[in-house]
């Protein structure tokens, strides 16, 4: 029986945010281990980076970059920390994080709570460079110039990141998703292009709540703006049928109910890109079959978060091992041959 199945009842006895903070504190005390090895068939080259496994940790789990190495040790092929804003901010009032156990889902309205980029920068500068580390950046809620916030984030965090993610898709910072609109997105990506750290790829994280025509427009802006990959997708403000008593809480929904929408959006972006731009799939991935389906639909990499609430951090290694086994059964020597 996996250790997490024994620990989960105790974790679920606490409210979701308290349990999460306790988890981060425990991981921060864990001794460093050698990075795990993965089957060579899982190795992927995306945006000039070699990912030893396509299974990564999505932003939101380690908001302040406190435990990236512990998560790499747990079996993630790459880890994305954040979202980090230029200035510290407390986020939205509590409670703001809810487990929807019956639905194997999570609703959050955290609101980019974090200690700010400077504190995270100092923390990450002290770590040994190992594994693939992404840093997810956002704008402060009260910012008078959100584009300037992204520029500041790129410049501040570039020296400690293997890649940077521009997050314009959170539903919990009022007005943030308007940066996905036509003119504002072009302006943002133009500014991003002028603030990049040489040699550090920049990814763009998009929302799943898009209209017809948005995919082609976003892809064209991303390609013209020099974006290196798209992360599809963040949490949804939509509400499919849910059983939990928390179903009507405001915020972004993630986990199993997001799966069909996130997969559909991935397919739409794959069609819009025609394979020209790498895609990273997130949202509702909790099994080897889910991961395989996203890769077959066009994802070069995948990211987990909410499924760990129910399965524990060992899920990353289980999915990676399962993907390697699936490749062997299919007689395929490289994950690259399966994408799309």
140 known member of a binding site:
no
12 known member of a binding site:
no
248 known member of a binding site:
no
Could you write out the DSSP letters of every residue in 156-213?
A: HHGGG-SEEEEE---TTSTTGGGGGSHHHHHHHHHHHHHHPPTT--EEEEE-S---TT
Largest CA distance in the chain: 55
78 known member of a binding site:
no
Decide: 44 and 51 in contact? Cβ < 8 Å.
yes
91 known member of a binding site:
no
73 known member of a binding site:
no
Q: In this structure, is the dihedral angle defined by the CA atoms of residues 177, 181, 183 and 186, taken in order, positive or negative?
A: positive
199 known member of a binding site:
no
Both structure tokens of 106: 């999570």
255 known member of a binding site:
yes
63 known member of a binding site:
yes
114 known member of a binding site:
no
Distance of CA 250 to the CA centre of its chain: 20
| Angle between helix 146-157 and 182-195 (nearest 10) | 30
Classify each residue of 287-309 as buried b or exposed e, where b means 16 or more C-beta atoms within 10 Å of its C-beta: bbebbbbbbebbbbbbbbbbbbb
94 known member of a binding site:
no
Q: Is there a catalytic annotation at residue 190?
A: no
76 known member of a binding site:
no
141 known member of a binding site:
no
Point out the catalytic residue in the list 41, 169, 170, 300.
170
Strand runs labelled E in 102-160: 105-108, 133-137
Which residues on neighbouring strands pair with residue 303, listed in sequence order? Answer: 56, 282
62 known member of a binding site:
yes
108 known member of a binding site:
yes
48 known member of a binding site:
no
Q: Is 82 helix (H, G, I), strand (E, B) or coil?
A: strand
What distance, in Å, lies between the first and last C-alpha atoms of the chain?
35
Decide: 100 and 46 in contact? Cβ < 8 Å.
no
Cα–Cα dist 324/213, whole Å: 36
Annotated binding site for substrate: which residue ranges?
63, 108-112, 167, 172, 234-235
Annotated binding site: which residue ranges?
59-63, 83, 108-112, 136, 167, 172, 205, 233-235, 255, 284, 305-306
The residues assigned a catalytic role are: 170
Annotated binding site for FMN: which residue ranges?
59-63, 83, 136, 167, 205, 233, 255, 284, 305-306
């Amino acid at each position: 029986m996996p250790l997490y199945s024994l620990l989960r009842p105790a974790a679920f006895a606490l409210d979701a945010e308290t349990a999460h903070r306790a988890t981060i504190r425990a991981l921060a005390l864990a001794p460093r281990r050698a990075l795990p090895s993965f089957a060579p068939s899982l190795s992927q080259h995306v945006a000039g980076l070699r990912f030893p496994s396509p299974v990564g940790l999505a932003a939101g789990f380690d908001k302040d970059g406190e435990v990236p190495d512990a998560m790499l040790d747990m079996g993630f092929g790459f880890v994305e920390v954040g979202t980090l804003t230029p200035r510290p901010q407390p986020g939205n009032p509590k409670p703001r994080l809810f487990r929807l156990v019956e639905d194997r889902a999570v609703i959050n309205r955290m609101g980019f709570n974090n200690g700010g980029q400077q504190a995270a920068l100092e923390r990450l500068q002290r770590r040994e460079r190992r594994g693939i580390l992404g840093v997810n950046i956002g704008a402060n809620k009260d910012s008078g110039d959100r584009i300037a916030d992204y520029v500041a984030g790129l410049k501040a965090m570039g020296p400690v990141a293997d890649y940077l993610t521009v997050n314009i898709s959170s539903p919990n910072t009022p007005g943030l998703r308007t940066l996905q609109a036509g003119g504002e997105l072009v302006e943002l990506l133009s500014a991003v292009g002028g603030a990049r750290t040489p040699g550090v790829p920049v990814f763009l994280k998009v929302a799943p709540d898009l209209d017809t025509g948005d995919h082609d427009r976003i892809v064209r802006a991303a390609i013209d703006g020099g974006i290196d990959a798209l992360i599809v997708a963040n949490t949804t403000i939509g509400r499919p049928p849910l059983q939990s008593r928390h179903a009507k809480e405001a915020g972004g929904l993630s986990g199993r109910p997001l799966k069909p929408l996130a997969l559909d959006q991935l397919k739409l972006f794959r069609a819009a890109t025609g394979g020209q731009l790498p895609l990273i799939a997130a949202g509702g991935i909790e099994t080897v079959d889910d991961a395989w389906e996203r890769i077959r639909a066009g994802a070069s990499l995948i990211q987990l978060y909410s499924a760990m609430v129910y399965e524990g951090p060992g899920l990353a290694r289980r999915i990676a091992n399962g993907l390697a086994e699936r490749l062997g059964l299919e007689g395929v020597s490289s994950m690259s041959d399966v994408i799309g």
